[in-house]
């Protein structure tokens, strides 16, 4: 039986990457007098590496090895990332990044049905708080029984660690939950923890491989803003809890 919905954050709850994280990274680079600048296209390629600190290190390995040759490079990355987080939280507080269509409705449907909600993300915990508080209000932090985020696990997505951490904290089996993702790395992570996964794509993840996902949509949608089904089946024009239950039951039948 379906007991919990576990959501990724970046790209799934909101389109945070292009106009949020990317902008914050560039502001941090500028403030630190670094010549690095990540345009929209280059950032799309860099998203192959999850985690901001890991992404900066990867970029330096490719394009600025002299940066990494500095004795304190590790600490500089940590400081740059802390600065980036401050800029990102500030951007969210300006209310410029809304939730994706259907997200708030779906969360409320799940709450009304007394399903457990949880988060499994690579992003820094402050970023999750800033997104939730600035879109749903501070009280909405309590809607989530577990928020698994950032460096709390040893390996970030595509490793399964963060979903396994959340399942353990919820004391639920993978069969009792369903994951919501937007990217190939996220899907690999959820599926590594044996979770059925529903995908909503975005501009950066349209061409990702989602072959094992139970449903791939362009968005959850609303009655007046329908979703497009990319793979899988959905009988309604938008994703609702009844559709999620039906999809989950087909994938994980109750014995
Ligand atoms: C999200 C990420 C994150 C953000 C940046 O991946 O990769 O790294 O881009 O977050 P997912 P931090 O949606 O698959 O969890 O800079 O806080 O690491
Ligand atoms: Mg994501």
Question: How far lies 120's CA from each of 73, 149, 181, in Å?
Answer: 29, 6, 9
- pLDDT tens for each residue of 99-145: 999 999 999 999 999 999 999 999 999 999 999 999 999 999 999 99
Span 178-228, pLDDT tens digits: 999 999 999 999 999 999 999 999 999 999 999 999 999 999 999 999 999
- pTM for the predicted model, two decimal places: 0.97
- 112's tokens: 């009304």
Pocket of ligand 1 (CB under 6 A): 8-11, 17, 21, 50-52, 121-124, 127, 157, 183, 185-186
Selection from 98, 102, 120, 115 nearest residue 234 by Cα? 102
- Residue 15 a catalytic site member: no
């Amino acid at each position: 039986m379906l007991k919990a919905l576990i959501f990724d954050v970046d790209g799934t709850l909101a389109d945070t990457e292009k106009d949020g994280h990317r902008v914050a990274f560039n502001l941090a680079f500028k403030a630190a007098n670094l010549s690095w600048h990540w345009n929209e296209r280059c950032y799309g390629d860099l998203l192959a590496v999850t985690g901001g600190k890991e992404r900066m290190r990867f970029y330096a390995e490719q394009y600025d090895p002299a940066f990494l040759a500095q004795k304190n490079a590790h600490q500089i990355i940590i400081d740059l990332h802390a600065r980036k987080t401050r800029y990102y939280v500030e951007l969210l507080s300006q209310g410029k990044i809304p939730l994706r269509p259907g997200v708030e409705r779906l969360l409320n449907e799940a709450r009304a049905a007394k399903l457990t909600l949880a988060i499994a993300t690579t992003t820094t915990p402050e970023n999750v708080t800033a997104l939730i508080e600035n879109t749903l209000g501070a009280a909405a932090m309590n809607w989530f029984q577990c928020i698994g985020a950032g460096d709390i696990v040893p390996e970030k997505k595509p490793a399964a660690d963060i979903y396994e951490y959340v399942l353990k904290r919820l004391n639920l089996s993978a069969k009792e939950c369903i994951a919501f993702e937007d990217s190939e790395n996220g899907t690999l992570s959820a599926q590594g923890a044996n979770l059925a996964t529903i995908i909503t794509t975005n501009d950066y993840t349209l061409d990702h491989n989602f072959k094992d996902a139970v449903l791939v949509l362009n968005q959850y949608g609303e009655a007046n803003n329908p979703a497009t089904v990319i793979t899988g089946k959905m009988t309604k024009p938008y994703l609702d809890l009844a559709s999620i239950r039906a999809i989950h039951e087909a994938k994980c039948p109750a014995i």
